[in-house]
Amino acid sequence: MSGSERPIAFFDLKSQAARIRADVEARLKAVLDHGAYINGPEIAELEDALLRRSGAREVVAVSSGTDALVIALMAKGVGPGDAVFVPAFTYNATANAVLLTGATPVFVDIEAGSFDMCPDDLKRRIAALRAGRPDLRPRAIMPVDLYGLPADYPAIERIARAQGLVVIADAAQSFGGAVDDTQVGALASLTGTSFFPTKTLGGYGDGGAIFSTEPGLGEVLRSIRWHGTDEARRESIRVGMNGRLDSFQAAVLLAKLAIFSQEHARRVALAARYDANLSNSVELPARPAGRTSGWGLYTIEVENRDGVRARLSEAGVPTSVYYSQILPEMRAFRAYAGDGDFPAARHASARVLSLPFHPYLEDGEVDRVCEALRAAL
């Protein structure tokens, strides 16, 4: 069925699965043959492949993107009495990871257009905390690379160094992105990414990885991942958790990693096609100088979003909203809303709209989406 006939898919894992099925089946059979379902050789192979691709010093495969953030925070000793600065506009896992360590999230507004943490507002929030909250110690900054665009790490790192804070990046949506020539995974002291199936590099279940640029931290991360045990896995030498990635998921990820560069190139081409079609119609995703998106999602801004979505649905075009509510407004996080002043985050939450986007989207399908969108505005 041609792109002009088949239903448009928001994500398309089936086409990818058909492409790599033989490789996946061979790799899963290898796991069945050796029987090391936990910590099999695929784990070390995946970590090494991610290490070489990212340029980080250490990579530790873990059970989810959320666990990657929790373990990273634990490895730096973040806990009760510590403040961690997170964007007000992101998925709830970012704030949850902070709270699971006993630390306190402090919300920061975003940059208009990029949707990433605003360095200027970050400086303001740190100063306000130091002046008004003697009960909290500023300890870490957790930027989020929303929709795939890396945050302004050069600016954030300068603030972190001046304030004595550690940067732990939430790169759940941005694997494949970069700032100048530095890949996601090597942009911060610690980076957590997600292998949820719809991510740029996704498994067939939950999974994640921690990247570290700090020498010697890999041993601590691996210990925490395995209940805080020593190398022999007999004695608990620190507080830990069950954060292991299983061998089956690593096998799937290795098959997907083999085609990742091709898929990312296709994402870049599709984003450019969307841009060309929509440049005079809507607010396009930002392209800050030096920051290359991993293109986890293609997200525009529109007025009357609900009406536009309804008309697109009638035209057979699926859409999604990531995210319609800022974190400080959610019941679980209202106690940490601070002054509640997050104008750019609120503005984005009312206007963002993600369009169909995956490496198996055809050019003609992009054109159909854009034609329907222009008619729906």
376: confidence class by pLDDT, cuts 50, 70, 90: very high
CB 302 within 8 A of CB 282: yes
42 plus 130 within the same structural domain = yes
In a domain, residue 358? The reply is yes
**Rounded alpha-carbon distances, angstroms, from residue 245 to 60, 195, 278:** 9, 10, 40
Do 246 and 273 fall into the same domain?
A: no
For residue 120, being part of any structural domain is answered with yes
Residue range 18-71, pLDDT digits in tens = 999 999 999 999 999 999 999 999 999 999 999 999 999 999 999 999 999 999
Tell me phi and psi for residue 194, to 5 degrees: -115, 145
Please state the rounded mean pLDDT for residues 354-377.
98
| In a domain? residue 65 | yes
Q: Which of 3-12, 21-30, 181-190, 218-227 has the lowest mean pLDDT?
A: 3-12
Domain boundary pick from 228, 257, 286: 257
Same domain, 184 and 85: yes
For residues 359-367, give the mean pLDDT: 98
Residues 291 and 310 in one domain: yes
Instruction: Looking at the structure, tell me whether residues 185 and 172 fall in a common domain.
Output: yes
Domain extent at residue 58? 16-257
274 and 340 housed in the same domain: yes
- Our count of domains for the chain comes to 2
3 state SS of 106: strand
Q: In this structure, is residue 1 part of a structural domain?
A: no
11 occurs within a structural domain: no
pTM for the whole thing? 0.96
Average predicted confidence (pLDDT) for the chain? 97
Q: Do residues 188 and 238 share a domain? A: yes
Got the DSSP string for 250-310? Answer: HHHHHHHHTTHHHHHHHHHHHHHHHHHHHTTTSBPPP--TTEE---S-EEEE-SSHHHHHH
* Residues 248 and 265 placed together within one structural domain of the fold: no
In a domain, 137, yes or no: yes
Residue whose token pair is 């506009």: 89
CATH number at residue 84: 3.40.640.10
Based on the fold, state whether residues 273 and 184 are members of the same structural domain.
Answer: no
**Structural domain includes residue 156:** yes
Provide the pLDDT for residue 306: 97
CATH number at residue 286: 3.90.1150.10
Query: End of a domain among 195, 230, 257?
Result: 257
Residue 204 forms part of a structural domain:
yes
3-state secondary structure of 337: coil
Residue at which a domain ends, from 233, 257, 281: 257
Query: 184 and 321: one domain?
Result: no
Q: Is the pLDDT score of 207 beyond 60?
A: yes
Cα separation of 152 and 157, whole Å? 9
One domain for residues 158 and 104 = yes
- In sequence order, the β-bridge partners of residue 192 are 170, 210
**Residues 137, 58 share a domain:** yes
Asked if the model's pLDDT at residue 310 lies above 60, the reply is: yes
